[in-house]
Structure formats: structure tokens, C-alpha cells
Amino acid sequence: MDVITLGESMVLLSPDSYGPLRYINRFNKMIGGAESNVAVALSRLGHQVGWVSKLGNDEFGLYVRNVIRGEGVDTSQVVFVDDNPTGVFFKERTVGKDPNIYYYRQNSAASTLGPDDVNTSYFRQAKFIHLTGITAALSFSGKAAVKRAINSAKNNNEQCVVFDPNIRLKLWTEEEAIRELVDIAKDCDIVMPGIEEGKLLTGYESPEKIAQFFLERGTSVVVVKLGSKGAYFSTKKDSGYVPGYTVENVVDTVGAGDGFAAGFISGLLRGWNCYDSVRLGNNVGACALNVEGDFEGYPYWEEIDPGNSEKKVTR
């Protein structure tokens, strides 16, 4: 197993037109979730990936599991529960702006994720463990599950933990997010905040100082995502800016950060250096912008030119 990730996926209902949801009558059914987005993207890039979660024992839960499993992701550790439903969220599309997101995930099945759901023998199979702050924000037990996964990896020196803060202030307060996410990040090998997340968590404005904040606390690699400008990476020995890719027709920005994470991890799995791995991350993230939906635009490895980390085809 190359990568295992842990977190919630929900049914996404995306409107077929722009405007306030109160005027929308038709929706397209999809799925969305940061961790499963990363899992699907990595699977398409040719890696063996496992996704661990809980779903409601309902039609939406079966739909989510079947879609992710159909993308080649191992879902053997997904648990169906009777007493909590599969989460749902809606997008509200506005011309020229990022979509508004409305979550209906309180008391969802995934909010009951806990340390007992982290099968350490399963997790120890993976080279990389991918975690996000969303799982920690869902519930106290979700945070405990994240920490158990990290502790399990720390007892296995061959594993690398990748942490994306993925701040969701609809799930907890700003103060809670800063305190808990900084605490989690110090025990992770790779931390990859977006620039605004980095500013919030560290109090610093520049990518260099944001990276230094986490490096001083024990992280080995920090990648600060800069949107269309690309990303900045830093280790104790190397650092640099990696330019982004120009996307002419941005359809949907959701999922770009998860695509970046998958591309970056894929590069590291292939033995690439940080610069080239970040470049691949920028590419995969940019592909997500061309298509509606969280993961639908992620490329397959056959569409990537390994010589320059660029797509060979235009969708």
C-alpha cells in the first residue's frame, strides 16, 4: 500500500445553474471529501491507496462507497453504521466567485470516527499517511483518531505523515483551530497549508516565515500553497518557489488543493525531489479547475508527461 487516508466523504448536490439555492430546482449528485479526493487522485496516478471512514447504512452511503471503490481505492476499512446518516452538502454557484458551501454533516456517520477505527496493522502497510484538519474538527473522537494514526506512524520509522490543515471554521472556532492544528502539525513529517491558512495558524504573512514556523516545531517539509501562483516549499536544507499553471477556463475551484496534495505525494513516491513533486502537485491541482465536481478533473498518469510534469492532453 502506498497511501492511506482517513476522513469523511459526503454526497454533494451541485446545482445545474447559478444563483441562490432558494431558486434552484435541479441538482447533480456527486461526492466530495478532501481525503477521498486525495485517494482518488492518487489512484488515478497509479498508486495503491486505502480510504478509511464511516458511512451511514443508507443509499447515500452505498453510493459514496461504490464511487470511491470504483476509482480503484481500497474501501475494506469503511464501516457502515445504522444510527448516523451519511453527510450531505450543497454548492451554491456564483459567477466569478468560489462557490458557497452549505454542510449538513452534524451527527453524521463520519463524525463518530474514533481511535478504535484506526486499525494500526492496516495503517502500517502504507508508506504515507494522509490526514487533514477536517477529521480533527468533526468531533473529539475524530481528533483522537487522527492522533492515533499519527502515533502509529511515529512508531514506524519508515512511514511519513502528510498533514493538510484544511481549516473549516464552520466546524470549530478560530481559536480552537489554531490551537489544535498547530499541535497536530508538530508531530507530522509534511505540513501543507494554503497561504491564508498559514497566516491564520502562524500569524506570519510570508510563505518563508510560515514554513519556518512549522520547521522549528519539528516538521521536516512544509509546502505553502499559493493558488494560481503555485507553491513555496521549504526543508532544513532546501527551499524555493514553484510556479503554477495557467488555467484559461476555471469551472470549479473545489478540489484543487486536494489534487495538489495527491500530485505532491505521487512525486515523492516516485523518488522525485521536492521541487519536481511540487510541480506535479501544481499540475494535478490545476486539472481540477477545468471540470465541475471535486475529483472529476484529476488526470490519469497516462495523461502526464513525466519529463516535465505536464499533461499531454487538454480536456
Q: How many CB atoms lie within 10 A of CB 100?
A: 12
Of the candidates 164, 189, 258, 294, the residue annotated as catalytic is: 258
pLDDT digits (tens, 9 = 90+) for 105-156: 999 999 999 999 999 999 999 999 999 999 999 999 999 999 999 999 988 7
pLDDT of the chain along its 315 residues, tens only? 999 999 999 999 989 889 999 999 999 999 999 999 999 999 999 999 999 999 999 999 999 999 999 999 999 999 999 999 999 999 898 887 778 889 999 999 999 999 999 999 999 999 999 999 999 999 999 999 999 999 999 887 789 999 999 999 988 999 999 999 999 999 999 999 999 999 999 999 999 999 999 999 999 999 999 988 999 999 999 999 999 887 767 666 676 889 999 999 999 999 999 999 999 999 998 887 777 767 788 899 998 865 555 544 333
Contacts of 117 (CB under 8 A, 6+ apart): 52, 54, 77, 79, 145
In Å, what is the CA distance from 256 to each residue of 8, 14, 175, 299? 17, 17, 26, 12
pTM, to two decimals: 0.92
Q: Is 258 a catalytic residue?
A: yes
Grid coordinates given for 227: 493558488
Q: Mind listing the pLDDT tens digit for each residue in 258-274?
A: 999 999 999 999 999 99
Q: What would the grid cell of residue 123 be?
A: 495503517
The tally of CA atoms less than 13 A away on the side-chain side of residue 50 is 18
Residue type, position 123, single letter:
F
Cα atoms in the 13 Å half-sphere on the side-chain side of 233? 22
Largest CA distance in the chain: 54
How far the first Cα of the chain sits from its last, in Å, is 30
| Tally of CB atoms within 10 A around 185 | 25
For 33-52+115-311, which CATH superfamily applies?
Answer: Ribokinase (3.40.1190.20)
